Amino acid sequence: MAVCIAVIAKENYPLYIRSTPTENELKFHYMVHTSLDVVDEKISAMGKALVDQRELYLGLLYPTEDYKVYGYVTNSKVKFVMVVDSSNTALRDNEIRSMFRKLHNSYTDVMCNPFYNPGDRIQSSGSVSLSRAFDNMVTSMMIQVC
Amino acid sequence: MDASEEPLPPVIYTMENKPIVTCAGDQNLFTSVYPTLSQQLPREPMEWRRSYGRAPKMIHLESNFVQFKEELLPKEGNKALLTFPFLHIYWTECCDTEVYKATVKDDLTKWQNVLKAHSSVDWLIVIVENDAKKKNKTNILPRTSIVDKIRNDFCNKQSDRRSLPLFSRCCSSSRTPWCSMTSWTPSSLSMWSTSGPGVSVPPGALDCWVFLSCLEVLQRIEGCCDRTQIDSNIAHTVGLWSYATEKLKSLGYLCGLVSEKGPNSEDLNRTVDLLAGLGAERPETANTAQSPYKKLKEALSSVEAFEKHYLDLSHATIEMYTSIGRIRSAKFVGKDLAEFYMRKKAPQKAEIYLQGALKNYLAEGWALPITHTRKQLAECQKHLGQIENYLQTSSLLASDHHLTEEERKHFCQEILDFASQPSDSPGHKIVLPMQSFAQLRDLHFDPSNAVVHVGGVLCIEITMYSQMPVPVHVEQIVVNVHFSIEKNSYRKTAEWLTKHKMSNGIINFPPETAPFPVSQNSLPALELYEMFERSPSDNSLNTTGIICRNVHMLLRRQESSSSLEMPSGVALEEGAHVLRCSHVTLEPGANQITFRTQAKEPGTYTLRQLCASVGSVWFVLPHIYPIVQYDVYSQEPQLHVEPLADSLLAGIPQRVKFTVTTGHYTIKNGDSLQLSNAEAMLILCQAESRAMVYSNTREQSSDAALRIQSSDKVTSISLPVAPAYHVIEFELEVLSLPSAPALGGESDMLGMAEPHRKHKDKQKTGHCMVTTDHKVSIDCPWSIYSTVIALTFSVPFRTTHALLSSGTRKYVQVCVQNLSELDFQLSDSYLVDTSDSTDLQLVPLNTQSQQPIYSKQSVFFVWELKWTEEPPPSLHCRFSVGFSPASEEQLSISLKPYTYEFKVENFFTLYNVKAEIFPPSGMEYCRTGSLCSLEVSITRLSDLLEVDKDEALTESDEHFSTKLMYEVVDNSSNWAVCGKSCGVISMPVAARATHRVHMEVMPLFAGYLPLPDVRLFKYLPHHSAHSSQLDADSWIENDSLSVDKHGDDQPDSSSLKSRGSVHSACSSEHKGLPMPRLQALPAGQVFNSSSGTQVLVIPSQDDHVLEVSVT
């Protein structure tokens, strides 16, 4: 179960960020923002690898006392960051990987929507039908154990 | 355990601890395979799938195999890395289903249950194949069936666990990068890394322990690596530094070391507990000067020592983060530091960290951190007494929707409280950017074209969207206006402004995307426009090009908009022209504010700045973009006269529109237009003429009666009273009188064959209407000079005439062609002889008195000429026809008829030419290719007439004769004329005198062929002075030409024509040459009685080829 899921644009501003409502939202914003340092580091290290061999999944970005922060980067340099509870041992690398893949697919659907302007925030308040599917998918990832 | 990495063998990491693997089941079996297993296993390279995006590695691993015991399994909450059994193996060589069912299955189930109870999921069941055993037993099933059974019984739910990536899991479960890097695991960390210790500890004890662990690890690393190695591995160690800093901070807060007053007694008690809990320092570090233990003890012992250690750690961490480019992490630690400084009442030290962090969040557009940091910054600025900065941050926070309503109101109130304070220096303004306070949404001009004349009133309504959570009373809202005069530009002339600037008057301002980073989307797109500058005098194009309207947006410095937190150098412009609106209360959300201004000086006014003042606080929008302008113009009074239709038609009443643009002139009572009458143009005065009076913007209108008085020379139109900058419009009917003599100029004698073509050509070229210009001079009340206006009228008709003959009977045909777009009704057509000879009679053959003539159509009129005695050599005719537009029922005035004068000469028939073709003797029909005889008879129809008296006439014995030349020409190439095709005959000038000519012609085609043309010319002798020799030569030449032609199979029609042109050239142009001259007889004098006759030609029998030419 993820406690925070964020989609971050190539330019590092958040396109979408949602965290469990029971916890302090701000804390996760700071956490995700800080994790971009490691994302950047990993991307720049990856830059040398050939494009087709590139691994989109960045793995664990860094652990904190209570959470683990995982990263994923699309070919268009959109980043996905997921924060999971450290105590949740059921989530291993493979599960996180598949969650990111699901997230990526759902994000691709949003991008394919002709009414979505690339670079716009994916807001549940904005055009409802546009982001509803994405939002629902994020909700499912934040509730169920994958 | 030896773990060696393949391509780089020099680096060999060693571990004294091997991963524990337990063995259950058949112990004897395991003992038998153990030596092989322990030897072979490390040789097999394993793939180590590593986390954190690192590439997989191939490693060789050894394991510590121990017998399975339940005690080995870790209890919940008591997991240790080194004693943790990573894999559980069950060994069996069972190959008998009975044995399996009886014992092995049961044993396996027990083993599984124990594992499950301890939530151990990594296990392996090994079935060893034994060939010897297989042979002894008879009821042995294939080994696979046991595997299948086991799989069914134990693996079905976890089928993916069958191939267990044992060692990869073992390695990836190391939770911290530094552990995997150094391969040295401190015991304390392994404790920490297990999740959630169930031991109850005093608050802060864990923090102490983590702090110590981190520092221990770091010290250990420092001890075994040199400086460069440490530096190159900062990325791995900095996390520990940061973690230690964080823990020390929380300890400091817990123990009251971060407050201004220092710790209270409760804090001290807690500190004592913690220090006691640390116990005695371990002996190996007890004697060293520096140790994590000593550091912690010291830090907790006093406020000053804590500060020193905390600052040291923080700075070191920030420095390390910065050095490896982890700016965000550095800023985040910096924010903690700022918080610490704020607690220590040192806001001046906190500010730089807060600003740094905020700048970072702004640049990347992280709204929540922005809001949070701004809130901290506001507090900091308040403490520092940075009034301007504080107010600006407050305004940003008051408009921040991430804050609660209460918080927003608080910050808004902070601004209002400051604004309401009596200022110590009156007139001192605090200038803040408007964006966070209110946003300009749209602007609307009234009049909507944003053009107003001098003295006119202009309204500008703006929509301001207040971002404040409460209504704010604004003393005044001011728009600074820049004034410029562009006298030389045609675009700024009154005509252009009043006609062309037809916008809807609403300008929308793009909403500011404040939280977005500046680097990307916010850059506006190029706004390119075509630009045409025209000459003000003749409207010709002077300059053209492309202009970029928002160049100032594109070329401005990028940073300028990001430094929202700084006093952004917004300067108040003080201009002479301002629009002001006082005492406005801006409600949250949209507000309409209206500015009214009376236009004074003509020119262009550009709205530059928008300011709103709340007490001494001024919110300023430094640039209004897109550019908003309005124009003030002054205008000279003008009169325009233009036809309502595309073109005016002569002869019928036409409407003409008068437009008086008053400009700065006010039309007083009694002002009138004086029109000097043109001769052939009437101004028709109607009983009820009305004029419309509009304002220049066309928004208001009224109508007034128009008084028109006409005298012989002058028509006076009294204008209705109208204020300046208005337009008076009225229509008048004018009538251009058809001017009779000008029209009959082209007298066109329509002949029989050749002139017909000529007529066609003329039609092509002369298709437009004949025009007449009338000039009217008008005296206007505002000027001493007369205005001359030219009106062009087009004559709607074109008339041609023709003389038609039937033997000696003569007819005059008049064709009236309507060139206009209108339909007309023609009536009362007359043709009169102006010479008024009583002998001549014109009998109309037209029946209808009324005749419609549609647009682009023609109507023909025919009269028969009759006379009793000798006809006159020429006839002067005048054709007249009444006409009126077909659409209009009734006309107020009677219109003059349309007239056309022409002259007809030599219209009496003198000769009748008759041609006949006979088939060869003995044949019934003419055949192609066989010679037929052509018989031409030329008959004189009258005795000597006046027209015969010319050079060709010769008299002998009172008999008159004249010389004629005939010519047989077949332009359609149906016939080949054999022998002489022309000849000169002497024709007696007496009635019934007949001359016959025989010649032979050959039909070239079968069918009904028209007869060849027979042409008759008057053969005039050459002047006596000319030599006759030349004359004869020229004839020989001509004849030979024609003979040559007849020798050809296909007579060349062009050469025939060219011969014809030789004749005409002789007759008309080369009069000086000593040649006999040929003169074509006027068409009226020769009547060809066989014209139109056809003769049947049948194909010759041996003609197999039928030529068909289709053109």
The answer, yes or no, to whether residue B1034 has pLDDT greater than 50, is no
Residue of B nearest to A16 (CA): B366
Q: In which band, very low, low, confident or very high, does the pLDDT at B501 lie, cut at 50, 70 and 90?
A: low
pLDDT at site B333: 94
Closest alpha carbon to B367 in B500, B494, B513: B513
Between A and B, how many residue pairs show a Cβ–Cβ distance under 8 A?
76
How far A67 CA lies from chain B's nearest CA (Å)?
11
The answer, yes or no, to whether residue B459 has pLDDT greater than 90, is yes
**pLDDT exceeding 70 applies to what percent of chain B?**
78
Q: Which CATH number fits domain A1-140: 3.30.1340.30, 3.30.1490.20, 3.30.450.70, 3.30.565.10?
A: 3.30.450.70
The answer, yes or no, to whether residue B758 has pLDDT greater than 70, is no
How far A16 CA lies from chain B's nearest CA (Å)?
11
Which chain A residues touch B53 with a CB distance below 8 Å?
A: 42, 46, 55, 57-59
- CB distance A26 to A40 below 8 Å: no
On average, the pLDDT of chain B sits at: 78
Q: In which band, very low, low, confident or very high, does the pLDDT at B104 lie, cut at 50, 70 and 90?
A: confident
The single-letter DSSP state of residue B522 is T
pTM assigned to the model: 0.59
pLDDT at site B767: 63
Bridge-based pairing of strands B786-794 and B771-779 is antiparallel
Residue of A nearest to B360 (CA): A33
SS3 assignment, position B947: helix
The answer, yes or no, to whether residue A111 has pLDDT greater than 80, is yes
pLDDT tens for each residue of B267-277: 888 888 888 88
A13, A57, A61 ranked by CB distance to B366: nearest: A13
In whole angstroms, what is the distance from residue B59 CA to residue B15 CA?
Answer: 14
Q: In which band, very low, low, confident or very high, does the pLDDT at B1081 lie, cut at 50, 70 and 90?
A: confident
How far B328 CA lies from chain A's nearest CA (Å)?
5
A42, A87, A93 ranked by CB distance to B195: nearest: A87
Q: B671-683: buried (b, 16+ CB within 10 Å) or exposed (e) per residue?
A: bbbebebbeebbb
Which chain A residues touch B206 with a CB distance below 8 Å?
A: none
B332 and A55: CB-CB below 8 Å?
A: no
Which chain A residues touch B243 with a CB distance below 8 Å?
A: 65
Q: In which band, very low, low, confident or very high, does the pLDDT at B555 lie, cut at 50, 70 and 90?
A: confident
Determine whether B804 is exposed, middle or buried from the number of CB atoms within 10 Å of its CB (0-12, 13-18, 19+).
middle
Provide the phi-psi class of B25: left if phi over 0, else alpha when psi is between -120 and 50, else beta. Answer: left
The answer, yes or no, to whether residue B359 has pLDDT greater than 90, is yes
The answer, yes or no, to whether residue B567 has pLDDT greater than 90, is no
Q: How much is the average pLDDT of B701-729?
A: 87
In whole angstroms, what is the distance from residue A120 CA to residue A130 CA?
Answer: 12
Residue to test with chain A: of B50, B158, B236, B328, most A Cβ within 10 A: B328
pLDDT at site B310: 95
The answer, yes or no, to whether residue B487 has pLDDT greater than 70, is no
pLDDT tens for each residue of B1045-1077: 333 334 333 333 333 333 433 444 444 556 777
SS3 assignment, position B1069: helix
Output the furthest CA–CA distance in chain A (Å, rounded).
Answer: 42
Give me the torsion for CA of B375, B381, B382, B383, rounded to 10°: 120
B172, B175, B235 ranked by CB distance to A93: nearest: B172
On average, the pLDDT of chain A sits at: 85
Which chain A residues touch B176 with a CB distance below 8 Å?
A: 63
Closest alpha carbon to B1020 in B1087, B1079, B973, B1074: B1079
Residue to test with chain A: of B191, B240, B366, B373, most A Cβ within 10 A: B366
Which chain A residues touch B210 with a CB distance below 8 Å?
A: 65
Which chain B residues touch A58 with a CB distance below 8 Å?
A: 52-53
Which A residues, 54 through 93, put their C-beta within 8 Å of a C-beta on chain B? 55, 57-63, 65, 86-87, 89, 93
In whole angstroms, what is the distance from residue B943 CA to residue B73 CA?
Answer: 155
Q: In which band, very low, low, confident or very high, does the pLDDT at B927 lie, cut at 50, 70 and 90?
A: confident
State both tokens at B411.
């910050």
Give ∠ CA A99-A35-A93 in degrees, rounded to 5. Answer: 30
Residue B316 or B101, more confident: B316
Residue of B nearest to A43 (CA): B53
Domain ranges of chain A: 1-140
Q: How much is the average pLDDT of B748-757?
A: 35
Q: How much is the average pLDDT of B343-350?
A: 92
Which chain A residues touch B372 with a CB distance below 8 Å?
A: 26
The answer, yes or no, to whether residue B865 has pLDDT greater than 50, is yes
pLDDT at site B513: 55
Q: Does A94 touch chain B (CB under 8 A)?
A: no
Q: In which band, very low, low, confident or very high, does the pLDDT at B416 lie, cut at 50, 70 and 90?
A: very high
How far A142 CA lies from chain B's nearest CA (Å)?
21
Which chain B residues touch A19 with a CB distance below 8 Å?
A: none
B53, B239, B329 ranked by CB distance to A55: nearest: B53
A13 and B517: CB-CB below 8 Å?
A: yes
pLDDT at site B58: 75
Q: How much is the average pLDDT of B1020-1040?
A: 47
In whole angstroms, what is the distance from residue B760 CA to residue B394 CA?
Answer: 90
A60 and B52: CB-CB below 8 Å?
A: yes
Q: How much is the average pLDDT of A28-45?
A: 91
Q: In which band, very low, low, confident or very high, does the pLDDT at B403 lie, cut at 50, 70 and 90?
A: very high
Going through B311-437 in order, the beta strands assigned E by DSSP cover 430-433
pLDDT tens for each residue of B425-435: 777 888 888 98
State both tokens at B302.
């006093």
In whole angstroms, what is the distance from residue A13 CA to residue B66 CA?
Answer: 53
pLDDT at site B342: 93
Residue B862 or B769, more confident: B862
pLDDT at site B374: 95
pLDDT at site A34: 94
Alpha-helical runs (H) found in B83-176? 97-99, 105-117, 131-136, 143-150, 166-172
Residue B1100 or B464, more confident: B464
B196, B328, B521 ranked by CB distance to A34: nearest: B328
The answer, yes or no, to whether residue A3 has pLDDT greater than 70, is yes
Q: How much is the average pLDDT of B449-455?
A: 85
- CB distance B430 to B616 below 8 Å: yes
Closest alpha carbon to B675 in B627, B637, B625, B641: B641
Evaluate whether ipTM surpasses 0.90: yes
Give me the torsion for CA of B1087, B1092, B1095, B1098, rounded to 10°: 150
Lowest mean pLDDT among B1-10, B17-26, B972-981: B1-10
pLDDT at site B53: 63
State both tokens at B966.
């005939």
| Residue B254 exposure: Cα atoms within 13 Å on the Cβ side | 22
